[in-house]
Amino acid sequence: MALGLVAPVVRAESLAAVRARIEQRVEGVVRLKARLLVGENNAGYLEARGALAAAEQRVVTDENTDRGLVYAAIAAQNKSAPEEVGRARASKLAAEARGGEWVQDRNGQWRKKN
C-alpha cells in the first residue's frame, strides 16, 4: 500500500483507534504465538508458521493491517519509509519475544527464541 494512500486513512480514523484495536487483539496474538502458529517476521509483521483456522487468520490479517497503518504514520512523521519502521519494530519484537516463540532474523531464517 502506498504511503500516500495510508496516511489519510490513519488521519481519518485516528491513530488512537488503530492502536486501540491492536491492544484489543493482544491476548489473541499472544495465544497464537504461544501455540507456535505465528511468529514475528523480520519486517515487523505476524507470519503464519502453521495452519490457521479462519478466525485465527483474521486476527493475523487485522493485526498486520493495523501495524502497517502505524508504521506508515510513524514513517510520515519521520520522513522515512514504512518498511524501515517495520524492520526497526521487528528487532524490538524479536527482543521482546518469549522463549520458544518463532522469530525471523534479518536474513530470513526462522528460529525459536531461546
For residue range 11-42, what is the model confidence (pLDDT) as tens digits?
556 889 999 999 999 999 999 999 999 999 99
Residue 114 is assigned to a structural domain of this protein: no
In a domain, 108, yes or no: no
Beta-bridge partners for 78:
none
The answer to whether residue 107 is domain-embedded is no
Answer yes or no: is 53 within a domain: yes
User: What's the domain count of the chain?
Assistant: 1
Packing angle, helices 15-34 and 54-78, rounded to 10: 130
Query: Domain span at residue 45?
Result: 3-97
Give the confidence band of 3 by pLDDT, cuts at 50, 70, 90: very low
The reply to whether 113 falls in a domain is: no
Determine, yes or no, domain membership for 20: yes
- Per the listing, cell 490513519 goes with 10
Inside any domain, residue 103: no
Whether residue 47 has pLDDT greater than 50 = yes
Q: What is the pLDDT of residue 1?
A: 41
pTM score over 0.85: yes
Residues for the chain: how many in total?
A: 114
Q: Where are the alpha helices (DSSP H) in the chain?
A: 3-13, 15-34, 54-78, 82-96
